[in-house]
Amino acid sequence: MARRDPLSALLKLRGLEVATARRDLVARQAGAAAAAEREAAARSALDLELAAGAGEFADSLAAWLPMAHAARERAAGEAALAAQAVEAARAALAQQRARERAVEWLLDRRAQDARDKAMRAEQNALDEAAQRRGLRAL
């Protein structure tokens, strides 16, 4: 049975974690975009009603205005929280990528060490062969 390489398995795990963090970031960005649209709609509705509010519906506007302000503030708060969630997801993705790069570096380092060891062995064999050849020449 072949021996499994723990660093290769760890690299696969880190890759899955990066993919998950990317999906989370995309979902958070979509949520932030939706929250920003809701905030813009609340602001637009309030501005539109205030512009058209003077006249026969002034009493209704006065009753509606506190609810509209509250809805606008709630939407602004949700948009701010969504923006914070995007930044947190972005930071989590950066952290997962750093972890993945660390494992990649370890794998590269191990491969370079193996190449260096093979080159030293080859050089030692060449040196030994040259030394034997030199002894024969004498």
pLDDT digits (tens, 9 = 90+) for 61-111: 777 788 888 999 999 999 999 999 999 999 999 999 999 999 999 999 999
Residue 29: other Cβ atoms inside 10 A: 16
Sign of the dihedral through C-alpha 67, 71, 76, 81: positive
Amino acid, res. 84: Q
pLDDT, tens only, 56-72? 666 777 777 888 889 99
Q: State how far the Cα of 65 lies from the Cα of 104, in Å rounded to an integer.
A: 58
Domain boundaries, the chain: 6-137
Per-residue pLDDT, averaged over 28-40, amounts to 96
In CATH, the number for domain 6-137 is 1.10.287.1700
Per-residue pLDDT, averaged over 21-37, amounts to 97
pTM as predicted? 0.75
